[in-house]
């Protein structure tokens, strides 16, 4: 297994682009046995702006989006002499080719994902971005930075497949990482530990199942944030200061998110909407705690740091997925933000671990769960020393973001942020 993804930046191939445009859109793989494709986009409406050729049988088409981003469409053909291109599927060798080990096995991962990750030879995982740009990938830069400063509590980055866009931006099409065997994300391992704690005595605890995960996660985030703040050749000056005008923009965005959360929730679920309306003033007051009269320290942040981004595997814990929050726009995914953003999101997700277990146990363990949430939060924050005003404002905003996300994409998730907000402000 090589430890670098084959090649880095590729130009577009004019001859192949003309050929592809004639047969666009490429067919999706009909054979269910092979598995689902890398992407399931509606491709008929537009044609490719560029195509990167990868050897004889693979290619990646780029379809321009309205905002300067590109859909990434991995393609394959079944033999060199076959002229029709189809959408690639895990198993046909594209990811193994890109990882530099064309004979290795490929399998799709089962977990909930925004992009398409393919495990190659049980040693590497190649994540294909559904969309790339308009800015360079956060993850490629951040993981290179963390690697350079010696942060090891993440899968080792193996390089990226990039393409130079017409405006000269290196866009990441796929990112390779070392595959961590038997890794499980926090929506599994943290939830399971709390469930065992709740059912104490009823379940045999085979593996390490200490429910008090707050301090362990807190010290991981201390080391992550220290590494993010360490200068490297990739990010020579990580630390910066946000001017009051920037903080004012954060506050406006927070208020707008609250308004949207209230409106969408009331439309879709009047009962939850009424519960939120009753605490609206208190939530708004926390959003208003963002300090506008003093400069705020900012630094590179993970940008989507919830418990699902912390994998537990045989080597310990590992942080993944530095792409930022896929549900938010570019401003909200700025590289540099107050570190309290990451802390607020992690604290919120730990609270949601409690809400998940509460729902599964039909409310029978509410007191145990509330005590777990309180202690886990305290243990997590103990070594982190956040600014309380920033933390309170970002926590309130995080719950509002979750409500908007639930309303747009996952209504059955709404109960979690509603329960968290009611517990805090009700």
Considering only residues 6, 53, 68, 114, which one is a binding residue for ligand ADP as defined by CB under 6 A?
114
Q: Which range, of 13-21, 43-51, 98-106, 108-116, touches ligand ADP by CB under 6 A?
A: 108-116
Q: Which does 156 bind (CB under 5 to 8 A by kind): ligand ADP, Mg ion, none?
A: none
Q: Which two tokens stand for residue 101?
A: 């080990």
d(CA 229, CA 105): 38
Which 3-62 positions form the footprint of ligand ADP (CB under 6 A)? Answer: none
Q: Which does 90 bind (CB under 5 to 8 A by kind): Mg ion, ligand ADP, none?
A: none
Beta bridge partners of 164: 170
Q: State the nearest-atom distance from the C-beta of 90 to Mg ion, in Å.
A: 17
Binding of ligand ADP by 115 (CB under 6 A): yes
User: CA gyration radius for the chain?
Assistant: 23
Binding of ligand ADP by 179 (CB under 6 A): yes
Binding of Mg ion by 185 (CB under 5 A): no
Considering only residues 158, 180, 221, 365, which one is a binding residue for ligand ADP as defined by CB under 6 A?
180
Beta bridge partners of 125: 119, 177
Binding of ligand ADP by 105 (CB under 6 A): no
Which 321-360 positions form the footprint of ligand ADP (CB under 6 A)? Answer: 321, 323
d(CA 145, CA 151): 9
Residue 113 CA: distances (Å) to CA of 52, 118, 123, 131, 294: 24, 11, 19, 13, 39
Binding of ligand ADP by 185 (CB under 6 A): yes
Q: Which range, of 16-24, 158-166, 319-327, 360-368, touches ligand ADP by CB under 6 A?
A: 319-327
DSSP 317-350: EEE---S--TTS-TGGG-SEE-THHHHHHHHHHH
d(CA 339, CA 322): 14
Binding of ligand ADP by 117 (CB under 6 A): yes
Q: State the nearest-atom distance from the C-beta of 254 to ligand ADP, in Å.
A: 24
Q: Is 171 helix (H, G, I), strand (E, B) or coil?
A: strand
CB-nearer residue toward ligand ADP: 156 or 361: 156
- Alpha helical stretches, state H, 269-412: 270-287, 340-360, 366-382, 388-409
CA torsion angle for 380, 382, 383, 389 (degrees, to 10)?
Answer: 90
Which 309-368 positions form the footprint of Mg ion (CB under 5 A)? Answer: 321
Binding of ligand ADP by 92 (CB under 6 A): no
Residue 4 CA: distances (Å) to CA of 1, 115, 123: 9, 20, 12
Q: How many residues bind Mg ion (CB under 5 A)?
A: 1
Binding of Mg ion by 177 (CB under 5 A): no
Q: Which does 183 bind (CB under 5 to 8 A by kind): Mg ion, ligand ADP, none?
A: ligand ADP
d(CA 290, CA 303): 18
**Residues at the site binding Mg ion, with contacts judged by CB under 5 A:** 321
- Binding residues for ligand ADP, rule: CB under 6 A, are 109, 111, 113-115, 117, 125, 127, 155, 177-180, 183, 185, 311, 320-321, 323
């Amino acid at each position: 297994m090589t430890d670098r993804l084959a090649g880095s930046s590729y130009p577009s191939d004019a001859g192949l682009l003309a050929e592809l445009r004639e047969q666009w859109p490429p067919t999706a793989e009909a054979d269910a046995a092979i598995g689902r494709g890398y992407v399931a986009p509606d491709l008929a409406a537009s044609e490719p702006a560029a195509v990167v050729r990868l050897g004889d049988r693979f290619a990646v088409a780029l379809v321009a989006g309205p905002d300067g981003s590109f859909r990434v469409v991995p393609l394959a053909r079944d033999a060199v002499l076959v002229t029709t291109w189809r959408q690639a599927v895990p198993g046909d060798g594209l990811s193994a080719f890109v990882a530099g080990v064309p004979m290795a096995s490929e399998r799709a991962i089962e977990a909930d994902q925004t992009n398409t990750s393919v495990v190659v030879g049980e040693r590497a995982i190649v994540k294909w971005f559904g969309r790339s740009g308009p800015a360079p990938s956060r993850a490629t830069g951040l993981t290179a930075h963390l690697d350079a400063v010696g942060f090891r509590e993440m899968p080792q980055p193996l390089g990226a497949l990039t393409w130079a866009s017409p405006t000269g931006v290196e866009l990441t099409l796929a990112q390779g990482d070392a595959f961590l065997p038997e890794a499980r994300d926090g929506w599994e391992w943290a939830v399971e530990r709390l469930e065992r704690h709740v059912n104490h005595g009823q379940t045999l605890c085979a593996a390490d199942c200490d429910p008090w995960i707050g301090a362990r996660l807190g010290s991981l985030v201390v080391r992550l944030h220290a590494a993010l703040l360490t200068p490297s050749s990739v990010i020579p000056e990580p630390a910066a200061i946000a001017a009051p005008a920037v903080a004012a923009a954060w506050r406006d965005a927070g208020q707008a998110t609250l308004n949207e959360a209230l409106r969408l929730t009331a439309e879709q679920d009047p009962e939850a909407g009424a519960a939120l309306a009753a605490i609206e003033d208190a939530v708004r007051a926390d959003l208003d705690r963002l300090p506008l009269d003093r400069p705020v320290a900012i630094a590179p942040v993970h940008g989507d740091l919830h418990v699902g981004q912390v994998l537990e595997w045989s080597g310990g814990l590992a942080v993944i997925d530095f792409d930022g929050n896929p549900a938010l726009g570019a401003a909200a995914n700025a590289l540099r933000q107050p570190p309290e953003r990451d802390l607020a999101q992690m604290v919120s997700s730990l609270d949601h671990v409690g809400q998940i277990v509460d729902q599964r146990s039909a409310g029978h363990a509410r007191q145990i769960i509330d005590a777990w949430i309180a202690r886990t939060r305290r243990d997590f924050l103990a070594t982190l020393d956040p600014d309380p005003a920033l933390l309170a404002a970002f926590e309130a905003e995080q719950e509002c973001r979750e409500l908007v996300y639930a309303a747009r994409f996952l209504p059955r998730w709404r109960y979690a942020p509603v329960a968290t907000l009611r517990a805090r402000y009700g």
